[in-house]
Amino acid sequence: MFAQTNASEEGFASYYADKFHGRRTASGNRYHKNKLTAAHKTLPFDTKVKVTNLSNDSSVIVTINDRGPFAKGKIIDLSYYAAKELNFIKKGITKVRIEILSDSLNTNDTISIASSANEKKTEPPIPSYPGTYDFNFKETELSGYYIQTGAYKDSDILSEEINRLQKKIDSNNIYIEVIKIKNTIINRLLVGPFEKKNGDAEIAVLQKKGISGFLKSY
């Protein structure tokens, strides 16, 4: 049995779409829709949390193995199985309370959800291996034309830029390409996709919003 700490957080939960089944998470493990796992922005990987659906009082214990969600108002992204246990598959989103289970933490781990969100993260929010990802740092494929708005070595700066973009454009149009150049990880921030013929117009729209970049294809 796991003992609960006094660390809790309330907000909205969503769950992974089926297309993410089998893709790598930020921890390096692959997402499995029928396992009790979840994504959280700051909690250490392998932390176990109790998630309670505040609309029906059902609860489930999940293991944190991914980063996200980064959409405003959401505090946790659950596996399909966890969402099914909480009975909100049809709704797609529900208000929850999450509580850390202390036996899953190391003695040096932060046990306050609120304070961990304000501290500098010790783990990068994105994988340290090449690939392409959506704004929740879940592996995806890119196809078409995108506008690259920047390239960053520092994952904290990348997160700040993603947050800045989210205030100006739809989060679903934000992507990250992780590349490795001479043993250095570079994170390219992309907006798209667009048709090539609309590229110049889209660049102009972004420039009016204070975002600059150039067009590239995938």
- Residues 108-148 pLDDT 10s: 444 445 444 444 333 334 566 788 888 777 778 898 899 99
Average pLDDT of the segment spanning 43-61 = 93
In a domain, 81, yes or no: yes
Q: What is the CATH number of the domain that holds 42?
A: 2.40.40.10
pLDDT at 70 over 70: yes
Domain identity same for 209 and 143 = yes
The verdict on 112 and 22 lying in the same domain is yes
Mean pLDDT, range 188-210, rounded to an integer:
85
Same domain as 110, residue 181: no
Q: Specify the pairing of strand 48-53 against strand 37-39.
A: unpaired
Q: What is the pLDDT of residue 83?
A: 94
Residue finishing a domain among 97, 118, 139:
118
Count CB neighbours of 205 within 10 A. Answer: 14
> Which structural domain range is residue 35 located in?
4-118
**What length is written for the chain?**
218
Task: Collect all residues with Cβ–Cβ distance below 8 Å to 58 and sequence separation of at least 6.
Answer: 52, 85, 86, 87
State the Cα–Cα distance between residues 183 and 198, nearest whole angstrom. 35
The whole-model pTM stands at: 0.52
The arithmetic mean of pLDDT across residues 14-37, rounded, is 90
Residue 127 has a pLDDT of 60
Residue 35, pLDDT score = 94
Average pLDDT over all residues of the chain:
81
Percent of the chain with pLDDT over 70: 84
Domains of the chain: total: 2
Residue 199 vs residues 61, 132, 178, 214: alpha-carbon distances, Å: 46, 20, 22, 9
CATH classification of the domain holding 187: 3.30.70
| Residues 113, 29 share a domain | yes
Q: Distance (Å, rounded) from C-alpha 79 to C-alpha 90?
A: 14
Are residues 103 and 161 located together in one domain of the fold? no
More confident residue, 3 or 46: 46
- Distance, in Å, from the CA atom of 113 to the CA atom of 117, rounded to the nearest integer, reads 6
Which of 88, 118, 148 is where one domain is finished? 118
Predicted pLDDT at 103: 56
For 81-149, give the secondary structure using H, E and C.
HHHHHCCCCCCCEEEEEEEEEHHHCCCCCCCCHHHHHHCCCCCCCCCCCCEEEECCCCECCCCCEEEEE
* Res 6: pLDDT: 53
The answer to whether residue 35 sits within a structural domain is yes
- CA dist 126 and 186 (Å) reads 11
Inside any domain, residue 123? no
State how far the Cα of 128 lies from the Cα of 8, in Å rounded to an integer: 29
What separation in angstroms does the CA of 5 have from each of 25, 100, 102, 121, 217? 26, 6, 6, 21, 48
Final residue of a domain: which of 73, 97, 118?
Answer: 118
Task: Note whether residue 125 is domain-resident.
Answer: no
In a domain, 40, yes or no: yes
Q: Is the pLDDT of residue 92 over 90?
A: no
Q: Are both 105 and 64 inside the same structural domain?
A: yes
